[in-house]
Amino acid sequence: MPHVEIKHSADLALNPQALFKLVEYVINRHDADAGECKGRAYPAKAFQHTHVLFEISMLTKPHRDEAFTRKLMVELEQQLKAQIPQTCRFSLALNYSGPYYSTNLHEVG
């Protein structure tokens, strides 16, 4: 299950819910088995310069090679920038989890 964190200056008018859905959609266009994408947004009240950082984490898989990663990053950047209504510094990081990362569903009752 991919994960996206959006860290941004509080003066940036973003719709985090729409951005979460967009990231999930783009990832699944490139990898139909990726599934749901968890998301969190962190608007920073204290900041210097208007900016946004998208950090996306995914599990390492054989088909997620360099070509896959480059194509995914290009589309993510294009699609995300189209949703940002003002000038800002833009950063995008796509990280693959290492062998000692565990993700699953914790159910109660």
- Asked if residue 81 belongs to a domain, the reply is yes
Enter the tokens of residue 24: 């999930």
Question: Please, where are the H alpha helices in the chain?
Answer: 16-30, 66-81
Give pTM, 2 decimals: 0.93
Does residue 103 sit within a domain? no
Q: Look at residue 96 and give its three-state secondary structure.
A: strand
What are the angstrom distances between the C-alpha of 71 and each of 15, 24, 60?
24, 15, 16
Instruction: Give per-residue pLDDT as tens, 2-41.
Output: 999 999 999 999 999 999 999 999 999 999 999 999 999 9
Number of domains composing the chain: 1
- Which residues constitute the domain of residue 79? 3-97
Q: What is the pLDDT of residues 44-85, one digit of tens each?
A: 999 999 999 999 999 999 999 999 999 999 999 999 999 999
